[in-house]
Structure 1
Amino acid sequence: MAEHKPQMSVEDFETIASGAPETVTLEFIHGRVGVKKARDGDHGTVVSWLTKRCMRARPDLVCGSQGLRVDAGGHNRARPDAVLTPEAHFAGHGAWAGPDGALMVVEVTCYDPDTDRRNRHEKPAVYGQAGIPLYLLIDRDSCTSTVHSGPDRRVGGYRDARVTKFGETLVLPDPVGIELDTEILKNYVR
C-alpha cells in the first residue's frame, strides 16, 4: 500500500477512541481512522460460535476481544472481532496491547462498503507484519472462511491463504491446531 500522510497521530487517535461510545468501534490503519460497522445478530452469533468451539477444543486458550498495536512501528490500532490467546495473556495491558501472544485474530464481514479494503487487504497486511500466526476471515459475502498463515514481518501479509466454503471442514493449523465443521455458518448470511 502506498504511503500517505496520516490523518492524525496515533496518540490523538487513542484519545478519541477512548472517548467513543461502546456502540462505536474505531480503528487506525495506515494512518486513517476507520469505523467498524455495528455488529448484527448474525455477526455476533458467528463470533460466539467460533469462540465456543475454540475454547472447547483448546481449554488452555481464551477467545476474546482486545485492541492491538499491529505493525512494526506500533502506529496501527486494530480491534479484531476475536483474538485467541493463552488464558489471561492480556491481563494488565489496557486498551491497546502488543500482538505477542496472539495465536489467531478473527474478522467477520459486516456487509459494508469498506469490507473489501479493510478485511481482505489492510488487515492481513498489518496482522502479518505484526507476526500474528493466523488470521481467520469469516466472509459472509462469499460464504467462505480464509485462513491466512505464515506471517511475513518484513513486508507484511501472509505467505499462505487457504479458502474453505461454508459447509466444509475448516482447518486451523498450528499453533491453534483444530478443525471445525462450518455447515452452521450457512445460516448466518443474507
Structure 2
Amino acid sequence: MVMASRRRPCKLTPETETAPLPATARELFDALPSLPGLRAEVIDGRLIVSPVGTPEHARIAMLIYRALLPLLVQRGWDGFAGNVDVCIDGPRTPVEPDFVLAPPDCRRWGDRELMSSGLLMVAEVISPGSVEDDRVKKPSMYAAGGVPVMLLVDPITAPPTVTVLSDAKEGEYQTITRVAVGSTVHIPDPIGFDLDTAVFAEP
C-alpha cells in the first residue's frame, strides 16, 4: 500500500533551500525517519510504506524460524523473522522479507541492510495486500539479486500452499516446487532441508 500524507508547508531555512530533494525511490527511502509499526520497501520503482503484518502473518514467519532452528544451530547461521532490511545487489533496492536466512558474515550495505547476494534464503508470507508483489515482483527481484532460494507461504489461497523457488538464472528462478500445506517439501542447496509444511496448518 502506498501511503501519502498532506503536510503543511514548512518554513524554509538556508539549509533546506539548498538541500537537494530525493530524486529516486531509493533516495527517498534513505531520507525516511524511523517509522515504528510500518514497513518501507522499494518494489518496481515504487516506495511502498505499509503496516506490519497481522499477528497471524507474524506467526507464520516465526513458524519458519522454529522449523529451521535446528539447522541454524547446527550450521551457525542467522535467522531473522522480519525487521531486517535487504539490499538487492545492483539496483540497491531495499526490501524487508518476512524471513531471512543468512551466514553470520553476510555482507552489508551500510549498518542495517544485508546484501541479497550473501543470503541463503528469503521467505515471504502472502497477505491480501501483498499478492502481486509477493507472487510476481519479489521472486524476480530476489533471483536477480542472487538469493539462492525463496520460500513462499500462501495461507490465503485454497488450499493453502508452500512454494520453493530455486536455481536462479538471468533474473528468474528456474525450479518451482509447490505443495499443499500438510505435505513435505524439499528446500534445495545451500539449505538442504525437508520442510514439513504441516507446521503452517491452522491449529
Q: What TM-score bracket applies, with the shorter chain setting the length?
A: 0.7 to 0.9
**Partner Cα separation in structure 1 for residue 178 and residue 40 of structure 2:** 28
Indicate the percent of aligned positions where both proteins have the same amino acid: 25
RMSD (Å), alpha carbons = 2.2
Amino acid of the structure 1 residue aligned with 2:90: A
3-state SS in 2 of match to 1:100 = helix
| Equivalent in the alignment of 1:54 | 68
Unmatched runs of 5 consecutive residues or more in structure 2: 1-22
TM-score (norm: length of structure 2): 0.78
Of 105, 111, 119, which residue of structure 1 is paired with 2:122? 105
TM-score (norm: length of structure 1): 0.83
Q: Does 1:15 align with 2:21?
A: no
**Partner Cα separation in structure 2 for residue 54 and residue 30 of structure 1:** 30
CA deviation profile, 1:142-163 (whole Å, cap 9, x unmatched): 21011110112x3x22111110
**Partner Cα separation in structure 1 for residue 191 and residue 39 of structure 2:** 27
| Equivalent in the alignment of 1:32 | 46
Q: Does 1:149 align with 2:166?
A: yes
Amino acid of the structure 2 residue aligned with 1:99: S
Unmatched runs of 5 consecutive residues or more in structure 1: 1-6
Larger Rg: 2
Q: How many aligned residue pairs are there? A: 176
Cα 1:92–1:47, aligned 2, differ >3 Å: closer, same or farther? same
Name the stretch that deviates more: 52-61 or 87-96.
87-96
**Partner Cα separation in structure 2 for residue 37 and residue 179 of structure 1:** 32
Cα 1:149–1:88, aligned 2, differ >3 Å: closer, same or farther? same
